A and B are shown apart, each in its own frame.
Chain A
Amino acid sequence: MYQNDIGKQSAKVKNVVERGAVKKFAEAIGDLNPIYWDEETGKRSRYGRNIAPPTFPRVFDYGVIEGLKLPAKGLIHGEQRFHYKRPLFVGEELYCYAEVKDYYEKQSSMGQLGFLVIANNGEDADGNLLFTSTSTIIINEAVRKAMSV
């Protein structure tokens, strides 16, 4: 049902790796290592500044993929992948966008399942890719049927 959406992208959105957001996020995952929030520790580190935890890209705005309609309920987060060129720096600006990478269906004991693969990308101001966060979302048969009505 999403085959025609493969390749669609959102327009890039400027995001900032905001200091307060990084600290709040680090606290929420129980990882208050000073590398994330203490300015002195950041300065003394090899990065010369604070960095963000690897799952932090969850908080960015990736814009809207025009025409991609997802059900409001019944989605299952099946898999998640992050790939980094380097850690993200607190205070840096990123240009983020989302892309439909793939869609396929598989027969399972729970019926015909749909697998939607969305890549969330972040680039620096020069267009260099810094990270990709790829989610595989599982859409079960009941939700798919309700949507195609």
Chain B
Amino acid sequence: MTTIREWQVGQSLPEVTLPPVSRLDLIKYAGASGDYNPIHTIDDEAKKAGLPGIIAHGMWTMGNLAKLFTPYYEEGFVQDYFVRFQSMVFLNDVVTLKATVKEKDDKAIRFMVAAVNQHGKEVIKGEAVFSLYE
């Protein structure tokens, strides 16, 4: 496996495309996170809130996106992680996770990160700073 230090400015980590978002994915995340807001799991509640259907927790997508960095924990850790929730993720959406090196020095690598849906629309975007150990 490659090390994270090898990635150069402008290069991207291998993208990950998630399976279509299922109701069970969101029920599991509700249970694991304790976020039981019903707009994420119950159709009627989502509709009452003016949504076309249930939507994924933004934090579910943000949590998924962080896994691009998980293979590199021997080299460092995610020190800063910021996202803006740009657009909603619906049931059956296919989300692709991306990270591109924006800046790097001996101490840290700054990535632009994004999750993009099947229409090419960014659902979340932001930055992650991966701090490197000596």
Contacts and interface: CB of A to CB of B under 8 A. Distances in A.
A33 interface: yes
Interface stretch (A5-13, A49-57, A91-99, A115-123): A49-57
Interface string B65-82: 011011101100111111
B77 to A, nearest CB: 5
A25 B28 CA distance: 9
A55 B66 contact: yes
Interface string A23-35: 0110111110101
Contact of A59 (B32, B77, B80): B32
B63 interface: yes
A129 B31 CA distance: 27
A46 interface: yes
Identify whether the interface residues of A are mostly helix, strand, loop, or mixed: mixed
A30 B64 CA distance: 6
Interface residues of B, number: 33
B60 A28 contact: yes
B35 A78 contact: no
B34 interface: yes
Nearest to B75: A46
B74 A45 contact: yes
A77 B25 CA distance: 19
Contacts of B78: 54, 82, 84, 87
Given A27-B32, A28-B33, A81-B81, A45 B62 contact: no
Nearest to A46: B74
A54 B64 CA distance: 10
B94 interface: no
Nearest to B70: A33
Contact of B82 (A33, A80, A86): A80
B83 interface: yes
B13 to A, nearest CB: 14
Given A31-B63, A33-B67, A53-B63, A78 B32 contact: no
Closest 7 CB pairs of A and B: A29-B63, A28-B32, A31-B67, A55-B63, A81-B82, A82-B81, A54-B78
